[in-house]
DNA sequence: CTGAAAGCGCTTACAG
DNA sequence: CTGAAAGCGCTTACAG
């Protein structure tokens, strides 16, 4: 691999000049510039970003911390962030924690992944909300150039892209109510997750305002997975409650519910209606297409990336991009999985 | 951020010694080693990987070149490769091309993404088979430390992780035959893609061996997407052929087929059977679960990562890992989407 | 076992 | 407009 020096020699100029024709071409005379350009082409030179990063003390990369790549949640976030970053000449690099570990090991793995990002000199870190808020807050405190996406952590030295899960829950309830449902059941996400409790709270509150109490036997604990949704739906069927509608706190579980209905010969939405949450890829692909709450992950991750860029620009005394929207409001996407049973 | 120098000063040793206690602790005296360790802990030092890369001329990272993150194909590959690499202290970094471009722009975008990887000094590049073989071959020639996954390109200065799509096609046909199907239809992937033509050829050949000719009107051109599958199935229905079975060349399209059947009131598998290809996440989550051909992407990407590691180890005169399996054979995963109509 | 020194490939004031 | 020089934060022969 040829270096700047090689090119300089070939063009008969100093390496400083070559560097300038790369970074500030307007500073170099037209004639020498074209000599240099020719030499670059001839030698097949490409810049060594590592050396550049070291010299400029800026890596132009932002880290993304996640727990897994195989997820409907992660993909649009990575897509949105990396494309936006790319538009500004920045890179995204991602670190994932290991899986299926004990709690202690898992914390360890998270810290290792996080540290690997810092070691690689990322200029900021976008953290997905896969761990407990307290842990997120802890990491964000250690590394103030953190952005958390999907949940809010109360500490102000970092920034959050938030989504109103509570309102989302209310919207789901409202839609069911509007369609005449009273005998309703809910499948939650992991109970220790903020977003899940908020979705649940919004749902419960809205129902209560219409004098419908969601009892303990109408709430089933899930885990945001397809299998979790299936298991919960099986229990629901076995319970003999025959709800007219089920609210699954995410689309993966909603698909599980639909699958279990299929097995049990329950028609959706005729026999039981389903509303999901997230508006993931899955929701358009199901039969029938799923009525769900939209969480605009792609937009949210673009916003996070914009925040990240502004952190970098601030450090470099460049003018920041416009401030992005930082709080997102859900909307309900009506498709075909809930029936109007109003008579 | 404290540097090696800072730690050295704090511990009263040279920076070389600090570096050694990081990289070759056995070379430094126990007493000074503990002084250094204390200083590291006290200062909160973490190594600057950028500087290290420059000094050692090794980035310990391998690049992955893809076209998109939102794909059932990409996720398991990224997952497999990055986890394996992580086990050996290496990093994966991914570059994606932009989308929805004209041909010329798209080639341009591919080259930019690829170059960005090289600029970042990756030690090898794992390329997914999202572009034409000829283009892949071209890039692999420019950068011999390339590994292509999912297809084979004939040039020997690089390495391929291949999968026998042809046999996969045969397997699909065999299974349909075994279950008594004769009136069969096939939906292909993009016709310019190697894997698609191989899958198709295997399918056609096997059928022919049993005296079943797949006519031109029994082959529908798809594009490996859900919508493509739907559209094709609609055409199939409109054609009035009433096939007893359809072979979709990937699972996304198979899901589209199932969806269209649902809309048309066609029962799967009672009225029409479906076999897919890839054994992606989708296949277990469909109703009914999809009979499909397994392409073990996670294993394949782990193999690719192993090859990548061996390239790096070779360069550093380290002893290579064991040679991984480099050619993968499909198996059919029988689930519930094909009916036995043998009488 | 440890340190001084050179070097990795760039960038960027500073002079001219 | 251009170049010599110092420096970014490490590593690694080379001496001792």
**pLDDT tens digits for A232-265?**
999 999 999 999 999 999 999 999 999 999 999 9
Is residue A253 included in any domain, yes or no? yes
B101 touches strand C (CB under 7 A): no
Residues of B in contact with A288 (CB under 8 A): 262
Q: Report whether pLDDT(A331) > 70.
A: yes
Residues of B in contact with A91 (CB under 8 A): 93, 116, 120
The CATH number that applies at residue A70 is 3.40.50.2300
* pLDDT in the model for residue B19: 95
Residues of A in contact with B51 (CB under 8 A): 54
DSSP string, A74-98: HHHHHHHHHHHHHHTT-EEEEEE--
B69 plus B29 within the same structural domain: no
* pLDDT in the model for residue B155: 64
Query: Alpha-carbon dihedral of residues A226, A228, A232, A235, nearest 10 degrees?
Result: 110
Q: Which residue ranges in chain B fall short of pLDDT 50?
A: none
To the nearest whole Å, the CA of A1 is away from the closest chain B CA by 10
* pLDDT in the model for residue A193: 87
B217 plus B145 within the same structural domain: no
A68 plus A180 within the same structural domain: no
- Residue A40 forms contact with B (CB below 8 Å): no
* A-to-B residue pairs, Cβ atoms closer than 8 angstroms: 99
Q: Determine the 3-state secondary structure of A303 from DSSP.
A: helix
B254 plus B210 within the same structural domain: yes
Q: Which two tokens stand for residue A203?
A: 């749902």
pLDDT per position as a tens digit, A55-81: 999 999 999 999 988 888 899 999 999
The bases of strand C with some atom under 7 A from any protein CB are 1-5, 7-13
* Interface-testing mutation among B56, B120, B261, B302, with chain A (most A C-beta atoms within 10 A): B120
Nearest to B119 among A47, A79, A83 (CB): A47
How would you label B279-316 residue by residue, b for 16+ Cβ within 10 Å and e otherwise?
bbbbbbbbbbbbbbbbbbbbebbbbbbbbbbbbbeeee
Is residue B342 included in any domain, yes or no? no
pLDDT confidence tier of residue A197, bands split at 50, 70 and 90: very high
Tally of domains in chain B: 3
Is residue B338 included in any domain, yes or no? no
With CA atoms as reference, report the closest residue to B176 among B294, B269, B286: B269
Q: Which two tokens stand for residue B66?
A: 């893809």
Residues of A in contact with B86 (CB under 8 A): 98
* pLDDT in the model for residue A130: 86
A9 touches strand C (CB under 7 A): no
In contact, B162 and B194? CB cutoff 8 Å:
no
CA B259 from centroid of its chain's CA atoms: 26
* pLDDT in the model for residue A155: 63
What does the longest C-alpha to C-alpha distance in chain B come to? 87
Q: Measuring from the CA of residue A29 to each C1' atom, give the nucleotide at the shortest distance.
A: D1
Nearest to B93 among A54, A93, A281 (CB): A93
Residues of A in contact with B59 (CB under 8 A): 50
- Residue B101 forms contact with A (CB below 8 Å): no
- Residue B69 forms contact with A (CB below 8 Å): yes
Q: Determine the 3-state secondary structure of B230 from DSSP.
A: helix
Is residue B155 included in any domain, yes or no? yes
Spanning CA of B222 to C1' of C1, the rounded length in angstroms is 68
Domain of residue B24, residue span: 4-47
B287 plus B173 within the same structural domain: yes
* pLDDT in the model for residue A157: 59
Is residue A336 included in any domain, yes or no? no
Contact B50 A116 (CB under 8 A): no
* Interface-testing mutation among B1, B44, B49, with chain A (most A C-beta atoms within 10 A): B49
* pLDDT in the model for residue A153: 82
A261 plus A317 within the same structural domain: no
Residues of B in contact with A262 (CB under 8 A): 287-288
Task: Say which DSSP state A100 is in.
Answer: S
A213 plus A288 within the same structural domain: yes
- Residue B82 forms contact with A (CB below 8 Å): yes
Spanning CA of B55 to C1' of C7, the rounded length in angstroms is 8
Is residue A305 included in any domain, yes or no? yes
* Interface-testing mutation among B44, B46, B50, with chain A (most A C-beta atoms within 10 A): B50
B209 plus B316 within the same structural domain: no
Query: Alpha-carbon dihedral of residues B36, B38, B43, B45, nearest 10 degrees?
Result: 60
Q: Report whether pLDDT(A322) > 80.
A: yes
A114 plus A214 within the same structural domain: no
Average pLDDT on A37-46 reads 92
pLDDT confidence tier of residue A6, bands split at 50, 70 and 90: very high
- Residue B23 forms contact with A (CB below 8 Å): no
A122 plus A184 within the same structural domain: no
- Residue A121 forms contact with B (CB below 8 Å): yes
Apex B20 CA angle, B16 and B25, nearest 5: 155
* pLDDT in the model for residue A99: 75
- Residue B111 forms contact with A (CB below 8 Å): no
Residue B332 C-beta-side C-alpha neighbours within 13 Å: 22
Q: CA–CA separation, B291 vs B245, rounded Å?
A: 12
B113 plus B193 within the same structural domain: no
Is residue A341 included in any domain, yes or no? no
* pLDDT in the model for residue B276: 98
- Residue B83 forms contact with A (CB below 8 Å): yes
* Interface-testing mutation among B66, B287, B289, B290, with chain A (most A C-beta atoms within 10 A): B287
B9 plus B130 within the same structural domain: no
Q: How far apart are the first and last CA of chain A?
A: 76
With CA atoms as reference, report the closest residue to B313 among B124, B161, B55, B82: B124
Contact B116 A91 (CB under 8 A): yes
pLDDT per position as a tens digit, A212-227: 999 999 999 999 999 9
- Residue B58 forms contact with A (CB below 8 Å): no
Is residue B341 included in any domain, yes or no? no
Residue B303 C-beta-side C-alpha neighbours within 13 Å: 19
């Amino acid at each position: 691999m040829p270096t700047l020096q090689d090119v300089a020699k070939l063009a008969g100029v100093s390496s400083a000049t070559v560097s300038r024709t790369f970074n500030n071409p307007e500073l170099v005379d037209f004639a020498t510039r074209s000599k240099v350009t020719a030499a670059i082409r001839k030698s097949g030179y490409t810049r060594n970003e590592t050396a550049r990063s070291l010299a400029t003390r800026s890596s132009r990369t932002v880290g993304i911390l996640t727990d897994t790549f195989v997820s409907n949640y992660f993909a649009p976030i990575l897509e949105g962030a990396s494309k936006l970053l790319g538009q500004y000449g920045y890179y995204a690099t991602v670190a994932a924690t290991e899986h299926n570990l004990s709690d202690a090991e898992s914390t360890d793995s998270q810290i290792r992944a996080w540290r690997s990002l810092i070691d690689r000199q990322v200029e900021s870190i976008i953290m997905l909300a896969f761990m407990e808020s307290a842990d997120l807050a802890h990491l964000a405190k250690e590394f103030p150039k953190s952005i958390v996406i999907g949940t809010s952590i109360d500490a102000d030295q970092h920034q959050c892209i938030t989504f109103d899960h509570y309102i989302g829950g209310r919207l789901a309830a409202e839609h069911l109510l509007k369609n005449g449902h009273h005998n309703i059941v809910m499948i939650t996400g992991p109970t220790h997750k903020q977003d899940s409790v908020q979705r649940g709270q919004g749902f419960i509150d809205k129902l209560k305002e219409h004098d419908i109490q969601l009892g303990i036997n109408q709430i089933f604990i899930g885990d945001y997975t397809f299998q979790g949704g299936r298991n919960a739906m099986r229990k629901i069927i076995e319970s003999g409650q025959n709800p007219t509608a089920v609210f699954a706190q995410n689309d993966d579980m909603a698909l599980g519910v639909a699958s279990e209905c299929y097995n049990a010969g329950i028609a959706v939405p005729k026999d039981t209606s389903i509303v999901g949450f997230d508006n993931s890829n899955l929701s358009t692909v199901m039969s029938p297409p799923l009525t769900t709450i939209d969480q605009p992950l792609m937009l949210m991750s673009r916003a996070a990336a914009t925040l990240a860029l502004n952190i970098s620009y601030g450090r470099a005394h460049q003018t920041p991009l416009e401030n992005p929207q930082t709080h997102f409001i859900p909307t309900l996407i009506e498709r075909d999985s809930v029936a109007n049973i109003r008579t």
